[in-house]
Amino acid sequence: MIKEIFQILIFPGVAFLFAFGLAAEFIDRKFCARFQNRIGPPWFQPFADFIKLLGKEDIVPGDADLTIFRLMPVFALTSSITAFFYIPLWGRQALFSFNGDVIVVLYLLTIPTLTYFLGGWYSRSVYSMIGAIRSLTQLFAYEVPLFLSILASALLADSWSLSGICGFYAKHPGYWVANLLGFGIALISLLGKLEKVPFDIPEAETEIVAGSFTEYSGRLLALFRVSIDIEMVVGASLLAAVFLPFALNVAPALGFIIYLAKVILIVIFIALARSLFARLRIDQMISLCWRVLAPLAFLQVLIDLFIKGAMR
Amino acid sequence: MHNSHDVQVPLGPQHPALKEPESFLITLRGEKITAINIKLGYNHRGIEKACEERTYTQDVYLIERICGICSHSHSTCFVQAVEEIASIDIGMRAKYIRTLIAELERVHSHLLWLGVAGHEIGFDTLLMYTWRDREVVMDLLATLTGNRVNYGINTIGGVRRDISKEQGKEILKGVDLLEERTKYYIKIATQETTIIKRLSGVGVLSKEDALRLGAVGPTARASGIKRDVRKDDPYAAYSELDFKVITDDHADVYGRTVVRVLELMESYKMIRQIIKNIPEGPISVKVPRKIPAGEALSRYEAPRGEDVHYVKANGTEKPERVKVRAPTLANIQSVAKMLEDRYLADMPIVIAAIDPCFSCTDRLISLRNYKSKNKKIVTWDKVRLAGINWYSKQGVDFTKLNKKFLIP
């Protein structure tokens, strides 16, 4: 019992996730800065920002719906953290698992986007409302390719549980290579989910200030920021578990380092995309997702079905 | 047109996309812009009136502060007008130095624009790179004139600082570096997929519209209009330099980008020619304090387009009237046309594509009484009276001050 509480609250649970989220934000910012020929922030900058925001005044717009406005950051944070417990990090077994937890994790990772929508919508500011609508529009574009590519991997593993998927790929090393196309699709979709460049349309600074978060300040903004960081780590962990399931049979310490390396690799990819691309327009983003990514994801499903047929 | 699905979004007077205060009230249906209401006048500084109160020499420094980026453009335009009235020939060396500073200024202005354009479409890497390289030209300007932006090199009758042979070598070195970097930016701006996706077909201004709306500078040249004061009405040393007027037929933001980056290459070419061909001679001639009565209109190709100054002299040491038409005023009309049926996401880059400089543009302010029925314009006397009354209510007594300023 005490062991489980320790696992949930400290390691590899909330406290670890919090620290790793802020570290991931630092890595993202530092790498992006170096790519852009800047010096970049010191390592504690995300944490300092968090502390500073906690000390600031919470300002709630007069017209905003107080309950939803205050609840949404908490929802965003908790749903990302909950999703984390079902993802195998190192080794084959997640903290908790049951058959069908793939669906639950994907669902839990959708909730933060919904909270951005609701939080922005109930801020009752024009910029927030446009940002909120854009968040939701974007959600319908990237979710389908993301789901399809992850489900394709699950199809090959013949399991609806993330631990089961990892177990399959641990038993059949090398099979994950078949899902590399899906990995690419999922990476691009993850950029959309995390609202990072080139899909940072919902918070396009030069158009709608900060989108959904325009009216947020103080502790609520700090919670939102940290929940985005944690979502980044959880999303990267999910992709690492589903698409990069190698070196799972090593000692826990080494496995932990490999896990960190996988996640950091994905975070560096995010930073690279940020420094390489311009922001797309929402219509361009949707047509990219539906015309290119979704058919490719279907192709990935077909590939996995063929391999599965060949395995029999 | 207006129905319940429309949302009015205020871009400005304060907005992250805008560097200066101006208001764009846009009506959106979904992501599409259905109407746009542009309002200038947040930055009126009364410079023209202030010029009438000062001597010509003081005016040069005041005029230089109209714009933070094209400061040399405004001051050159003004001194040219004054020199024309006084019929002074300043000599070729001074003209070459003015042209050199002008072209260096164009380089730093266009590099700045490229960075801003990158930022507006969310491509911050371009901003960081171009602004880093812009430091090279800023440093050159600092070594030549002592300042990074307001150079203060112009004076009526010539320039205030000479350039040495060593400085010439330094400039050539800097220009070589910048040319290499600019070639790289030309490659990025014309080949990078997301940039092209965001720029081409956006903010289209046909040649006819550009002519009708009186567009100037790179905005006009990107619509295929070969209009450049440096060629059409050569001033300073431009008649002796060999350069091309860059035009482009894309007529959109992409075309405006291409025109600006290619103009950079032309500027480097001109700077090299200036360093090579600069003649010996005095850098300034003596000009009497009192300028004879007369008037002159001076044209100048600023980085943003044609800059026009009108100066009327009345034989004293202060001008009778100074009128400034900054290039943004000529281009702002076309923004509404460019934004027809475009998306909200295109708004920042389309506005940025004319390279606006709103505080340079503000030449007029009108106060309207919105409480009255026909929103009448409030006259100067009434504003004064209202001010005096307001202060006397606060307990400030004006009667002790000079009586002649008071309105009975």
- Name the residue with tokens 């000529």: B330
Are residues B230 and B238 in contact, defined by beta-carbon separation less than 8 angstroms?
yes
Residue B29 is given by DSSP the state: E
Task: Flag whether pLDDT at B365 surpasses 80.
Answer: no
Are residues B42 and A161 in contact, defined by beta-carbon separation less than 8 angstroms?
no
- The answer to whether A206 contacts chain B (CB < 8 Å) is yes
Q: Give the mutation candidate from A188, A209, A274, A277 for the B interface (greatest B CB count, under 10 A).
A: A277
Q: Where are the domains of chain B?
A: 6-39, 47-361, 374-408
Question: Where is average pLDDT lowest: A11-15, B216-220, B290-294?
Answer: A11-15
Question: Where is average pLDDT lowest: B31-35, B211-215, B362-366?
Answer: B362-366
Q: 3-class DSSP state for residue B20?
A: coil
Alpha helices for B146-227 (secondary structure H)? 165-191, 193-199, 207-212, 217-221
- The answer to whether A36 contacts chain B (CB < 8 Å) is yes
Are residues A17 and A230 in contact, defined by beta-carbon separation less than 8 angstroms?
yes
CB contact under 8 A, A281 and B198: yes
User: Diameter of chain A by CA atoms?
Assistant: 64
CB contact under 8 A, A207 and B8: no
Looking at residue B373, its pLDDT comes to 76
Cα separations in angstroms, A248 against A18, A165, A181, A242, A251: 24, 12, 21, 12, 9
CB contact under 8 A, A204 and B132: no
The two tokens of residue A107 are 């669902």
Residues facing residue B355 across a β-bridge: none
CB contact under 8 A, A283 and B343: yes
Residue A293 is given by DSSP the state: I
Banded pLDDT at B400 (limits 50, 70, 90): low
Q: Which of A206, A279, A283 sits opposite B16 (nearest CB)?
A: A206
Q: Which of A35, A204, A277 sits opposite B345 (nearest CB)?
A: A204
Question: Where is average pLDDT lowest: A230-244, B23-37, B45-59, B165-179?
Answer: B23-37
Distance in Å, alpha carbon of A270 to nearest chain B alpha carbon: 14
Banded pLDDT at A23 (limits 50, 70, 90): very high
Residues facing residue B295 across a β-bridge: B312
CB contact under 8 A, B7 and A130: yes
DSSP string, A4-17: HHHHHHTSSSHHHH
Distance in Å, alpha carbon of A129 to nearest chain B alpha carbon: 10
CB contact under 8 A, B125 and A204: no
Are residues A177 and A127 in contact, defined by beta-carbon separation less than 8 angstroms?
no
Looking at residue B1, its pLDDT comes to 42
Evaluate the omega torsion of the peptide bond into residue B408 and state whether it is cis, within 30 degrees of 0.
no
CB contact under 8 A, B124 and A37: no
Looking at residue A64, its pLDDT comes to 82
Residues facing residue B296 across a β-bridge: B311
Looking at residue A208, its pLDDT comes to 81
Looking at residue B384, its pLDDT comes to 83
Looking at residue A180, its pLDDT comes to 86
* Cα gap B169→B153, rounded to integer Å: 20
Question: Where is average pLDDT lowest: A174-183, A261-270, B79-88?
Answer: A174-183
Looking at domain B47-361, its CATH class is: mainly alpha
Q: Which residues of A touch B7 (CB under 8 A)?
A: 126, 129-130
Task: Flag whether pLDDT at A169 surpasses 50.
Answer: yes
Average pLDDT over residues A274-288: 86
Q: Which of B120, B194, B348 sits opposite A198 (nearest CB)?
A: B194
Q: Which of A36, A126, A283 sits opposite B125 (nearest CB)?
A: A36
- The answer to whether A127 contacts chain B (CB < 8 Å) is yes
- The answer to whether A209 contacts chain B (CB < 8 Å) is yes
Banded pLDDT at A246 (limits 50, 70, 90): confident
Average pLDDT over residues A273-294: 88
Task: Flag whether pLDDT at B262 surpasses 80.
Answer: yes
Cα separations in angstroms, B300 against B72, B81, B160, B218, B396: 10, 10, 20, 14, 47
* Cα gap B100→B108, rounded to integer Å: 13
Looking at residue B402, its pLDDT comes to 60
Distance in Å, alpha carbon of A117 to nearest chain B alpha carbon: 16
Q: 3-class DSSP state for residue A39?
A: coil
Average pLDDT over residues B265-285: 89
Q: Which residues of A touch B346 (CB under 8 A)?
A: 281
Query: Dihedrals φ, ψ of B298, to 5°?
Result: -120, 135
What is the pTM assigned to this prediction? 0.86
Cα torsion A198, A199, A205, A209 to 10°: value is 180
Q: What is the per-residue burial (b if ≥16 Cβ within 10 Å, else e) of B198-229?
A: bbeebbbbeeebbeebebbbbbbbbbbbebbb
Q: 3-class DSSP state for residue B31?
A: coil
DSSP string, B248-312: -S--SHHHHHHHHHHHHHHHHHHHHHHHHHPPPS-SB----SSPPSEEEEEEEEETTEEEEEEEE
Distance in Å, alpha carbon of B125 to nearest chain A alpha carbon: 5
**163-202 in chain A: CB under 8 A from chain B:** 197-198, 200-201
Average pLDDT over residues B341-352: 85
Nearest to B5 by CA among B31, B24, B25: B31
Residue B76 host element (H or E): helix B71-85
DSSP string, B207-245: HHHHHHTT--HHHHHTTT----HHHHS--TTGGGS--PP
Q: Which residues of A touch B194 (CB under 8 A)?
A: 198, 277-280
Nearest to B233 by CA among B333, B301, B303: B301
Alpha helices for chain A (secondary structure H)? 2-9, 14-35, 45-54, 66-84, 101-121, 126-157, 162-171, 180-193, 205-208, 218-243, 252-276, 282-288, 294-311
Q: Which residues of B touch A36 (CB under 8 A)?
A: 124-125, 128-129
Average pLDDT over residues B390-408: 69
> Which ipTM was obtained for this model?
0.83
When the pLDDT of each residue in chain B is averaged and rounded to a whole number, the result is: 86
Banded pLDDT at A268 (limits 50, 70, 90): very high
